[in-house]
Amino acid sequence: MQELESYFEKLGEKKFRAKQVYEWLWLKPVGSFDAMTNLSKELRKKLSDEFSLPALKVDHTQHSSDGTFKLRFKTHDGHFVEGVLIPTESGRYTACVSSQIGCSLSCKFCATGYMERKRNLEFDEIYDEVVLLNNLCEKEYGKKLSNIVFMGMGEPLLNYKNVLRSIERITAADGLAMSPRRITVSTAGVAKMIKQLGDDKVKFKLALSLHAANDQKRHEIMPVNDTNNIKSLIEALNYFYKQAKNEITFEYILFKDFNDSLKDADELIKLYRQVPADLINLIEYNPIDAARFEKPSEEKVEAFIAYLSKHRVNVRLRRSRGKDIDAACGQLANKN
Ligand code: SF4
């Protein structure tokens, strides 16, 4: 803000211009100086001549029958990423945001995993995603976002600096002023960076996409497990908790006849006991064209949940949202 103020001062413009431009840049990203309608034409031209504006633009919007919105964003260099707005019956409005264009981790059940990783998103591009989803939320539901999850395209911990910097802006008083407790960063499991989060004493929550409770099965569906095995992840999560004292959740997608037996549940409980995890989020699998997995029957899911509950595990089933527009967990792949 100070930089903007001194810039406009040098131009002989009024001080409030800085605030106007600041709001366009950080709260109403428009993608061009020309669209900053409360500035004079001359000033807009001057800004366009001197600066470029790499803001994200909404390129395509899809609306699911369950109220979920999927936005496709276009970057200044012509790439596409997606973000999702998920309203729930409990009155929460969650934004699921992407951190990379594509993903290098190639998880077998995830549509993004079949895309090539093009590049990391910059911190302001991630922030723009959140602002644009927040603006949509206010327009459609008259509410601000209540939660943000970094569970869209890409592995957030492989774009560490930009993700943390975007969260700084999201939580800043002159940003969206959102509590970090309402933000969850989800990782496929990069042990070294989980420890780094601990060292940085971050205030947001951490979710580990576990999806299989032994190395052999996890290796089959998540190649990242080859270099970050379960033992190393357990150790990293304990370190994270010791340093940051923040909530940890396990994410576990149920795949038919792969990880949905009571023996799998037993293995999962053993891991849960080794980490100060608050919750296991069971996730309904959303089929994608490229993968061979199926979702288990309702009875199987219920038996799995009942088994975990009987063993005093705090468990919750996360039902799919936005399936009809490919906006559900694991389905983001820039497809219309
Ligand atoms: S699940 Fe996450 S880490 Fe794995 S391929 Fe998909 S986007 Fe990448």
pLDDT tens digits along 239-283: 999 999 999 999 999 999 999 999 999 999 999 999 999 999 999
Cα 111 to averaged position of ligand 1 atoms, centre (Å): 8
Query: What is the C-alpha to C-alpha distance for residues 19 and 162, in angstroms, rounded to an integer?
Result: 24
DSSP 259-317: S-SHHHHHHHHHHHHTTT--EEEEEE----TT----PPPHHHHHHHHHHHHHTT--EEE
- Cβ 112 under 6 angstroms from ligand 1: yes
Cα 109 to averaged position of ligand 1 atoms, centre (Å): 9
> Is residue 90 packed enough to be buried (19+ CB in 10 Å), middle (13-18) or exposed (0-12)?
exposed
Over range 69-93, report the average pLDDT.
94
Nearest to 125 by CA among 97, 148, 104, 145: 97
What pLDDT score does 322 carry?
84
What pLDDT score does 219 carry?
97
Over range 191-212, report the average pLDDT.
98
pLDDT tens digits along 92-102: 999 999 999 99
329 is catalytic: yes
Mutate to test the pocket of ligand 1, among 81, 82, 105, 108 (most ligand atoms within 8 A of CB): 105
Reported confidence tier of residue 324, pLDDT bands at 50, 70, 90: confident
Cα 222 to averaged position of ligand 1 atoms, centre (Å): 9
Average pLDDT, rounded, for the chain: 92
- Cβ 152 under 6 angstroms from ligand 1: no
Query: What is the C-alpha to C-alpha distance for residues 42 and 44, in angstroms, rounded to an integer?
Result: 5
Cα 114 to averaged position of ligand 1 atoms, centre (Å): 9
Measured from the Cα of 110, ligand 1's closest atom is 6
pLDDT tens digits along 5-33: 888 888 888 888 888 888 888 877 777 78
Q: Which of 13, 82, 129, 251 is catalytic?
A: 82
**Residue 300: CB atoms within 10 Å:** 16
Q: Whose CA is nearest to atom 5 of ligand 1?
A: 113
Rg of the Cα atoms in the chain: 21
Cα 261 to averaged position of ligand 1 atoms, centre (Å): 24
Angle at 230 between CA 224 and CA 231, to 5 degrees: 130
- Mark residue 269 as left, alpha or beta (left: phi above 0; alpha: psi -120 to 50; beta: remaining): alpha
- Cβ 188 under 6 angstroms from ligand 1: yes
Over range 185-206, report the average pLDDT.
98
Lowest mean pLDDT, pick from 49-58, 160-169, 266-275, 315-324: 49-58
- Cβ 210 under 6 angstroms from ligand 1: no
Mutate to test the pocket of ligand 1, among 97, 112, 153 (most ligand atoms within 8 A of CB): 112
Query: What is the C-alpha to C-alpha distance for residues 332 and 50, in angstroms, rounded to an integer?
Result: 36
82 is catalytic: yes
